[in-house]
Amino acid sequence: MKPIEIKPGIYWVGVIDWAIRDFHGYVTKNGTTYNNYLVMDDEVTLLDTVKHDFDATAVENIRRVVDPYKIKNIVINHIEPDHASSIAAIMEYAPDATIFITERGKKGLDRHFDTSRWKFRIVKSGDTLKTGKYTLTFLETPMLHWPDSMVTYIPEAKLLISQDAFGQHMASAARFDDEFFSCHSQFELDDAIVDYYANILMPFGKLIEAKIQEIVKLGLEIDMIAPDHGIIWRKDPGYIIQRYLDLAKGKADLAAVIIYDTMWHSTELMSDPIMNGIKDEGVPCKVIKLRSTSMSEAIKEFWRARGCLIGTPTINNVMFPSVAEFLYHLAGLRPKDRIVGGFGSYGWGGGAVKEAYAKFQQMGLEAVEPGLQVLYKPSAEDMDRCYEFGRDFAKRLKEYHGKFQAV
Ligand SMILES: Cc1cc2nc3c(=O)[nH]c(=O)nc-3n(C[C@H](O)[C@H](O)[C@H](O)COP(=O)(O)O)c2cc1C
Ligand SMILES: [Fe+2]
Ligand SMILES: [Fe+2]
């Protein structure tokens, strides 16, 4: 792939992965990119690598700018294999390079590769690497989103290489934010941002807020943010910072999403009048059937909306497996500031809706009690109850959402 000069002497040498649809279980419907960067200075320095599948392309991309043997330093901001697994291929061409990495990064890298012959320099926040006219300044960002993570700031270029932060899974001909709209819409951009944030970064909202404040306090001048996935922010880096702050603070749309599954359609039948009740209260509502939708899509829609209703039939006294899986996964993402409720059909003892509420409580989410259960197929009266349930939920949602608007 053709390298692109993003700042004088600093090149994007990344890879566009048009085909990937399963990124460790996360459905990347638009593919992704693995961005890495080459600093052509007195000391040639590579910032991050790409995914092992693209070893040959990674080396070829570098070769289009410089003989890889000339690489003096390699910065590994994050050891996850999508960014660090080409390191072995690169080290074959640049065996004398020094790897700049955090202490925890080194420990993790040692678990993936035989590093015994590689040279390392362990770095901490504030440490620098002078490559010539550029100074690479490292800033650790532990648990954003792995313990080893850091970002690299280059003051002379006002450039932040932000690693996974501010990224999106989006294969595109566009490399920069200002090019994006020639091939995509604003909706696609925001969808990709929320999708990435919800699925990867949701648990770390507090840390993200604190790290952004720290960067603001340091007074770093930033006119370009170059993440390791998706587009590079050069026209308006402030946009993505503000969007992240909003997402980190739990900002949501005044909207609802119904996430359900069903065996014999009774729970599904309930969804329809519930949706109408919500809509008639003036609250936009999406409906997602779990077995027809990827988990990552459902997680994104959950995070976009202020309120969520979970629909599940009872199977063997418990929730339907796809719903249980969704809530189990969601709990790990530690959602906050959302209002939820549950409904579903059952045949005899029930139990699924109760179980869903136990999960809501475990997550500490505001739950509209007691939920709605219907015996087998909903009757006409049941459908009316569903409609009222939807209306009541929407009223509570609006009230709840208002609290966030007030502050
Ligand atoms: C394999 C299976 C196991 C079930 N186990 C229970 C159960 O333990 N308790 C219960 O109340 N209903 C149980 N049911 C009945 C369903 O909850 C009932 O048929 C319900 O209407 C299904 O809703 P749905 O059409 O949305 O799938 C079970 C149904 C099936 C097919
Ligand atoms: Fe990562
Ligand atoms: Fe990544």
Q: Are residues 240 and 261 in the same domain?
A: no
Please identify which of the residues 17, 78, 83, 261 carries the catalytic annotation. 78
* Residues 134-179 pLDDT 10s: 999 999 999 999 999 999 999 999 999 999 999 999 999 999 999 9
- CA distance to 32, 156, 230, 234, 369, per residue, from 237 (Å): 20, 17, 13, 6, 42
Q: What is the CATH number of the domain that holds 337?
A: 3.40.50.360
Q: 378 C-alpha to center of ligand 1: Å?
A: 13
**Which of 189, 220, 248 is the last residue before a domain boundary?**
248
**3-state helix/strand/coil string of 343-376:** EEEECCCCCHHHHHHHHHHHHCCEECCCCEEEEC
112 in active site: no
188 in active site: no
> Can you give the length of the chain in residues?
407
Q: Are residues 72 and 171 in the same domain?
A: yes
**Which of 248, 279, 310 is the last residue before a domain boundary?**
248
pLDDT at position 347: 98
Residue 403 counted as domain residue = no
Closest ligand 1 atom to 311 CA: 26
Q: Are residues 264 and 181 in the same domain?
A: no
* 370 contacts 356 by C-beta, under 8 angstroms: no
Mean predicted confidence (pLDDT) in 27-42: 97
Q: Are residues 106 and 139 in the same domain?
A: yes
* Long-range contacts of the stretch 20-28 (C-beta < 8 A, 24+): 20/171, 23/82, 23/169, 25/295, 25/296, 26/169, 26/199, 26/200, 26/294, 26/295, 26/296, 27/294, 27/295, 27/296, 27/297, 28/169
Number of domains in the chain: 2
The pLDDT confidence band at residue 232, using thresholds 50, 70 and 90, is very high
Q: 330 C-alpha to center of ligand 2: Å?
A: 18
Q: Are residues 321 and 382 in the same domain?
A: yes
pLDDT at position 1: 86
pLDDT at position 122: 98
CB atoms near residue 8 (< 10 Å): 11
Taking 70 as the threshold, does the pLDDT of residue 184 lie above it? yes
The pLDDT confidence band at residue 392, using thresholds 50, 70 and 90, is very high
Q: Which ligand is nearest to the CA of 82?
A: 3
Alpha-carbon gap, residue 273 to 267, rounded angstroms: 11
Mean predicted confidence (pLDDT) in 119-129: 98
* 89 contacts 59 by C-beta, under 8 angstroms: yes
Q: Are residues 225 and 273 in the same domain?
A: no
Q: Which domain holds residue 73?
A: 4-248
Query: How high is the mean pLDDT of the chain?
Result: 97
Closest to 257 in 3D by CA, of 380, 337, 339, 162:
339
* Residues 98-110 pLDDT 10s: 999 999 999 999 9
| Residue 185 Cβ < 6 Å to ligand 1 | no
pLDDT at position 407: 57
Mean predicted confidence (pLDDT) in 300-304: 98
* 113 contacts 103 by C-beta, under 8 angstroms: no
Taking 70 as the threshold, does the pLDDT of residue 210 lie above it? yes
